[in-house]
Amino acid sequence: MLHATHARGDELDLLADAGARACVCLSTQANLCDGFLAVERVCTRLIGVCIGSDSNVRIDPLEELRELEGIARRQSGRRNVLSTDTLLCYGADEGAGSLGLEKWDDAVVDLSHPSLRGVDDVFEGLIAGCGADVFVSDA
């Protein structure tokens, strides 16, 4: 299901029963003012989430993951609704699985990138404040 922004509970139950995933394009939804994914309702049903973009504004997978956590925080009123591991799983494993792939090739991160200066945990740093320009494209 693409976006799942306006999915009702019974529709989410159907997705869960089918083992389907929701492909969420959060920056697109924000740009269109088209609503928000009900993050915890999707997650409590164990529906796989993958990120995408059908935007012509900006395409950045790390920004999409940050927005997913941001929406979850605003909806729940608490921090760390989705762990870094969960977000990275949505950004990699679930995305690959949605395309019938077992896994993606490993992404190569430029550890000398200014966004990662002074960061102890690279994965936390990627989610907290990096953009797609941190990835090495010719590896």
> Averaged over 10-27, what is the pLDDT?
93
pTM for the model stands at 0.89
- Sorted by sequence, the CB contacts under 8 Å of residue 28 that are 6+ apart come out as 34, 53, 54, 55, 57
Q: What is the DSSP letter of 104?
A: P
Please give the pLDDT value at position 54: 75
> Averaged over 13-36, what is the pLDDT?
90
Q: Which of 72, 64, 62, 81 lies closest to 125, judged by CA?
A: 62
Q: How far is CA 112 from the centre of its chain?
A: 24
Please give the pLDDT value at position 137: 82
Q: Annotated catalytic sites, by residue?
A: 3, 54
How many other C-beta atoms can be found within 10 angstroms of the C-beta atom of residue 36? 18
